[in-house]
Amino acid sequence: MLSYLIVGSGYRSEYFGRIAARYPELFRAMFLCRSEEKVCQVKAHTGIPATTSLQEAEGFAPDFVVVAVDRGHMAQVIEEWVLQEAVAAPGTVVRSPGVPWR
């Protein structure tokens, strides 16, 4: 079973939540949201666990993280929640959508 953390709480992130809800035998997911209001909202829409706690999200031990926020907030969210708390594996590439490969 593949597990993943979904950072975000809008329509982009709920897409990934619906995949996990539809195929529970294949996927296990959790949302990481900015507010308790958003936690309640995504839980109600998807049935997938959600939290505002980075420690709880880390305890979930995901295989990978999906950052599903709008383009204007992508870099900020990656820096704030992903890169500061995790050490990327050698060779890992992090890029924002719309930024060409170099």
Strand order across the 50-51 sheet: 50-51, 27-32, 2-7, 64-67
Q: What is the pLDDT of residues 36-45, one digit of tens each?
A: 999 999 999 9
Q: What is the pLDDT of residues 62-88, one digit of tens each?
A: 998 898 888 888 888 877 765 655 555
pTM: 0.76
CATH 3.90.226.10 is right for the domain spanning 2-83? no
* Interstrand relation of 50-51 and 64-67 (parallel, antiparallel or unpaired): unpaired
- Helices and strands (H, E) in the chain, number of each type: 4, 4
For 29, 34, 67, 69, 80, the CA distances from 41, given in Å and listed in that order, are: 16, 12, 18, 16, 22
Gap between the Cα atoms of 36 and 19, Å rounded: 22
